[in-house]
Each structure stands twice: as C-alpha cells, then as structure tokens.
Amino acid sequence: MQLKNYTQQDTSILKGIAIISICLHNFFHHFAPYTGENEFYFVSQYVHNFFNHIKETPSEFIKLFFTYLGHYGVQIFIFISGYGLTVSMLKRPKTWLSFVIDRLKKLYPLLLTGIIFFILINILINDRFPWEIDIKNMKYKLLFIHTLLPKQGLSINGPWWFFGLIFQFYLIFPALFHFIKKYNTKAFLIICLFSYAWIFLSLYNFQKVYEVYLLQNFPGHLPEFCLGMLLAFNKDFKINNIFFFLSIIVFCLGNFYKVFFPFTFLSTVIIFTFIYQFFKNLKFKRRILKNFLVHIGNVSMTLFVIHGFMRQPFIKLTYNVLTTPLEHLYAGFLFILTAYLMSFAALHLYNVLIDIFNRIKTPTKQNTKSYKIISKALQISLVAFSIFILYYIYSQTYSDKKDITSEFQIEKNKIVDKNTMYTFLSEHILDNKYKSISVEGELDIKSLDSTAKAPYLVMEIKGIMWEKVKVPENYNASNYSKLKFSYKCDFLFTQCLKNKKVKLFMWNPDKGTAEVNNVNFKVYAN
C-alpha cells in the first residue's frame, strides 16, 4: 500500500480519533467489570479478563473495548507528533536551541492552562484549594521531570504523564531529524533496535523501580515517533501489505506473551495507518463524520489537558446513580460532551498564554560564539543528567541480595462484600533484588450466598506478578472449606524488588458474598 503524506485535515482527524479513544479509556476503566491494561507494564491476565468479561457480559463490549484498548490512542498522538515536527522542520530549519525554545513556548501555555483549570475545578466542585503535595508535584510537572521520579508519572492528573514524554522528544528531535534525513530507513531500523533493546532491559531486568516506567519516557516510544518522521521524509511512502498482517499477528501475540509486548505499540500505529489509508482510498463521503473528527482534533490539545480531572464528577455520578451498562455509556457521552465544551474555554485561555509566551523572542543570531556556548552547555548538562538517572536506576537495581522467608497468619475473619471489588488480606514488603519469588499458604472460606459466584484469591506484585486462584464451586454455604494456594515467579534476570509489595487479596468481579478466616501466608525469595 502507498501511504500518502497527510494533509492538515488528515492529522486533525487522526488526533480526533486518538483523543476520543483516550478520554473514553480514562473514564471507563474506573468501573467494573475491570480488565486492567498493558500500558506501562505487562500482565498476561489482563487480556484474559478482557475476553472473559465480554463472554460473560456482551452488553459491556463498548466499555470493555475502550477500557482495555483505548490507551493505544496515545501512540497515534506520538506518531502524529513525529510527523508534524518533521514537516515543520523541513519547511523552517532551526538549530537545536531555537527549536527547543519554540516548542517550550507552546508546551508551557498548554500545561499552565491545565493547571489553572485544575485549580478552578477543585475550588468549584471539591471546595478545596490544591493540597501542599499537589503544589510540590506541580513543580515536577513544570520541570518536565515527573516521569523520571518515583511515583510522579501519574501524580496530580494521570494523563499529564505525556508532558514529560513529549518534552524528552523535543530535546532529541533535532538529532533524530538529521540522522533519519541522512540514513532514512536504515536510521529508523537502528533507532528501533536501540529502543527495543532498552525496553527489554527494562521489562526483564529493571522492570519498574519505585514506579518509574520506561514506557513513560522517550526510549519506550521511539519507534512510533520515528515512523511518523520517516513518513514525513518520504512522500507517498510505499509499504508492503504483508506488514499490515504481520502487525496484526504481533499485536495479538503481544497481548498474551510478554516477549512480544514491546512491539504492540508500533504494530498498533501500522495497523491504524493502513486502515486510515484504506478509507482514504475509498474516498469516504461521510462529511458530517469527517467534520466532527476534524473539529475534535482541532481542540484535542486542550481536551487532553483538562479531561483527566473533569471525569471525577461523572465517576461519582456513575457509581451512585447510573449503574447499568447502558447508563455507563450515557455517562461516558455526558463526560465527553462536557469536557469538549469546557475545552473551548481552555482554548481561549491557551491562546492568551500563547500570546504572552510569544513575546519571549527566540535568539536570531544563532552563529554567535555565546549562542553556541550556551547550546553546547545545555546539551552537555542534559547528557550528564541522563547518565545520573541511569546510574540511579542501576544502583537501586543491583543492591546486595539476601534470602528471605516470611510468614503471616491472620485468624480474624474477613467479609467479602458483594459491593466491594477487592478485599485486602495481607501483604509483605520486599527489600532487595531476587531471582525468584514464591508465595504459598492456605485459608478457610465459606459462602454467605449460595446463589452467587465465588470470588477469586489473588497474589500480586504490581506490574510483575498477578495470579488468581479460583475458589472451588462446591464450597459450602454454611461450613468453611480449606483453600490451598501456591505460585512461583521466576525472573529472566535478577529482579529489583525493593519496596515492592507482595499482596494477598480477594477479587470479587461477580459480586459474591463470602467469609474468609485463618489465612496462612508465606513468602520465599532468593
């Protein structure tokens, strides 16, 4: 297939599709039935949750679809960003420092728009000014270092993690531009090789350290970004149709097997570009749909920056009032409509801030000695900071190892309520690097409602291990039944598990009612 260069209308349509997908995902994943999503790390159980819930409740298909797959809209944004920046640079070449300054003059007004609306919404709806911790976290956001710091990527407002990623791409874009311009497809393949090597080290070795995710930072999304750049450099880019079918296969495998997971993001973009080009070739005449998507795409930036905290009132409304599957869809529509209308007000504020920031003039004398010194000093500082971050991750990963054996016993009974999705039983905090983790034990359980389905016992290390144990169907409604459980998790490399928790809890997706007692919980690590 021949992938033709995108017009401004094309990019707006793609942005419109992407932002709708992201908004619905960020809204629907708050409600049962829960699937989880393989966005920043991989858990094989999530795809099984997705298909099992569709099988059990087909009426929830739309909600489940966006809950599990909606986050892939981010990849479309990354792809379009690479494409748009390249087209702009080809028209108006800039030095590294000039380019970064110009991009910051657009990025800061957008983030500040989000922060101002965040404060106003909290005052008007929650009757509170942001807490001290919010102010502290905002400082990290304004420095664009939040995705590099422990537990900061999703702080304040989850979708804002994207600002750290796109800022990193701005810093390295000029170098990527010259590299791909000179070596074209070869450069793209080399960059992909570099990116996937880094991702695999992260997934199988570093995994996540203190909740710092590689897939929230530029090495995790270089292939999608550079594919957009490659398309911009090559007018009417031809690609064999076999890549479309291979991408579908890789995407499917990547949702079931960890070894294929890193390739799902690039495969999603390839699948999407093929499908979009197919409809373009058909000369699709649905003007109303086109105009709607173009319109959404034109306000996608401000819609993106405010929708995260706009969903909270609608989440409460859905929990308390709109409880059926159809009502969930209605709530999602109300949320999108309200956020869309609010995005116009945000757009006006954004344009005002843009005018203010545009008064900051980009240096015009770019060949002066002082200009070159400043540019080089900034680049060296960024390299030094990157080395420090890598050293920090390495030092946290390769600390001294020791064997542990921990045992816990909980005699007090726990009630699994039908209105509670998760009932916590026990946990153990790990403190070092280990080659394997074993969990085993037993508990007594009885049903308090013989007509309802039994809950599941789950053993979890977030982002690393998620294993459910099915309670026997014949567990008695009046007498306790003994449930034994065990699971071992081996790692390809020695794994850093410092400050990670081994959790034991009851998962109740089918709204059963039960009582749990005499929990014996053992953890072995070596």
How does pLDDT run across 137-160, given as a tens digit for each residue?
888 899 998 888 777 888 888 899
Rounded to the nearest angstrom, the gap between the alpha carbon of residue 148 and the centroid of all alpha carbons in its chain is 15
- Rounded CA-CA distance 466/468 in Å is 7
Strand order in the sheet with 422-429: 422-429, 501-507, 456-461, 465-470
Is there a single domain that holds both residue 436 and residue 513?
A: yes
CB count within 10 Å of CB 381 equals: 10
Residues 337 and 462 occupy one common structural domain: no
Nearest in space to 105 (alpha carbons), one of 375, 305, 381, 361: 361
What span, in angstroms and rounded, lies between the C-alpha atoms of 48 and 128? 40
**How far is CA 304 from its chain centroid?**
14
* Structural domain boundaries enclosing 504: 404-525
Of the listed ranges 320-324, 406-410, 429-433, 505-509, the least confidently predicted one is 406-410
- Over residues 288-324, the pLDDT tens digits come to 788 889 999 999 999 999 999 898 889 888 887 887 8
Same domain, yes or no, for 60 and 155? yes
449 and 305 in one domain? Answer: no
More confident residue, 6 or 404: 6
Has residue 183 got a pLDDT over 90? Answer: yes
- Between 4 and 61, the more confident residue is 61
State phi, psi for 44 to the nearest 5 degrees.
Answer: -65, -25
Taking CA atoms, 495 is separated from 387, 409, 433, 486, in Å, by 21, 27, 5, 20
Section 421-446 average pLDDT: 82
| Whether residue 165 has pLDDT greater than 80 | yes
- Per-residue model confidence (pLDDT) at position 61: 93
| Pairing mode, strands 456-461 and 414-416 | unpaired
Where do runs of H (alpha helix) occur along 184-241? Answer: 185-201, 222-233
Per-residue pLDDT, 206 = 52
How far is Cα 465 from Cα 463, in angstroms, rounded to an integer?
6
Span 409-425, pLDDT tens digits: 665 678 888 788 888 88
The predicted pLDDT at position 136 comes to 73
Q: What is the pLDDT of residue 474?
A: 65
Measured at the CA of 17, the angle between CA 195 and CA 9, to 5 degrees, comes to: 100
Of 379, 397, 415, the residue at which a domain comes to its end is: 397
Rounded Cα gap, residues 267 and 73, in angstroms: 13
Report the chain's terminal Cα–Cα distance, integer Å.
52
Distance CA(266)–CA(241), nearest Å, equals 16
Task: Give the model's pLDDT for residue 245.
Answer: 94
Which position has the higher pLDDT, 305 or 396? 305
Same domain for 309 and 378: no
Which residue in the block uniquely carries the two structure tokens 């991702």? Answer: 199
Supply the mean pLDDT for the chain: 84
Q: What is the pLDDT of residue 399?
A: 46
351 to 105, 108, 144, 297, 358: CA distances (angstroms): 11, 12, 21, 16, 10
431: tokens are 């403190």
Q: Per-residue pLDDT tens for 8-17? A: 999 999 999 9
Q: Give the pairing of strands 433-447 and 514-525.
A: antiparallel
pLDDT band at 507 (very low <50, low <70, confident <90, very high): confident
Rounded to an integer, what distance in angstroms lies between the CA atom of residue 23 and that of residue 30? 12
Output 511 or 59, whichever has higher pLDDT. 59
pLDDT score for 340? 93
Residues 504, 485: Cα–Cα separation, whole Å: 11
Residues 390 and 249 in one domain: no
**Looking at residue 335, what is its pLDDT?**
93
Spatial neighbors of 64 by CB under 8 A, at least 6 apart, are 28, 33, 35, 50, 53, 54
- Asked if residue 452 and residue 308 are part of one domain, the reply reads no
User: Do residue 374 and residue 334 come from a single domain?
Assistant: no
DSSP secondary structure letters along 362-383? PPS-TTSHHHHHHHHHHHHHHH
The single-letter DSSP state of residue 103 is H
- 28, 322, 249: which is closest to 36 by C-alpha? 28
What does the pLDDT look like over 201-242, one tens digit per residue? 777 555 555 567 888 999 999 999 999 999 999 887 778 889
Beta-sheet strands, E only, within 98-180: none
The residue among 309, 340, 362 that closes a domain is: 362
Distances (CA, A) of 353 to 110, 360, 387: 8, 12, 34
Clarify whether residues 322 and 450 are in a common domain.
no
**Cβ–Cβ contacts within 10 Å for residue 386, how many?**
13
- Give the residue from 263, 253, 202 showing the smallest Cα distance to 464: 202
Residues 459 and 339 in one domain: no
Q: What pLDDT shows up at residue 262? A: 93
Q: What confidence score (pLDDT) does residue 194 get?
A: 93
How many beta carbons lie within 10 A of that of residue 401, not counting itself?
13
Closest CA to 147 of 64, 189, 209: 209
Please give the backbone phi and psi of residue 470, each rounded to the nearest 5 degrees, phi first: -80, 130
Cis peptide before 33 (omega within 30 of 0): yes
CATH number at residue 462: 2.60.120.660
436 shares a domain with 296? no
- Percent of all residues in the chain with a pLDDT value above 90, rounded to a whole number: 42
Residue 401: pLDDT over 60: no
Domain termination residue (choose one: 307, 335, 362): 362
Whether residue 192 sits in one domain with residue 149: yes
Average pLDDT over residues 443-447: 86
Greatest C-alpha distance within the chain: 85
Given a cut of 50, whether residue 403 has pLDDT beyond it is no
Q: Model pTM?
A: 0.76
Higher-confidence position of 156 and 369: 156
Tally of structural domains, the chain: 3
Q: Are 214 and 202 in contact (CB under 8 A)?
A: yes
Instruction: Please report, as a single letter, which amino acid is at residue 150.
Output: P
pLDDT confidence of 487, banded at 50, 70, 90? confident
Residues 6+ apart with CB under 8 A from 297: 11, 12, 13, 14, 15, 16, 17, 19
**Range list of H helices, 360-471:** 369-397
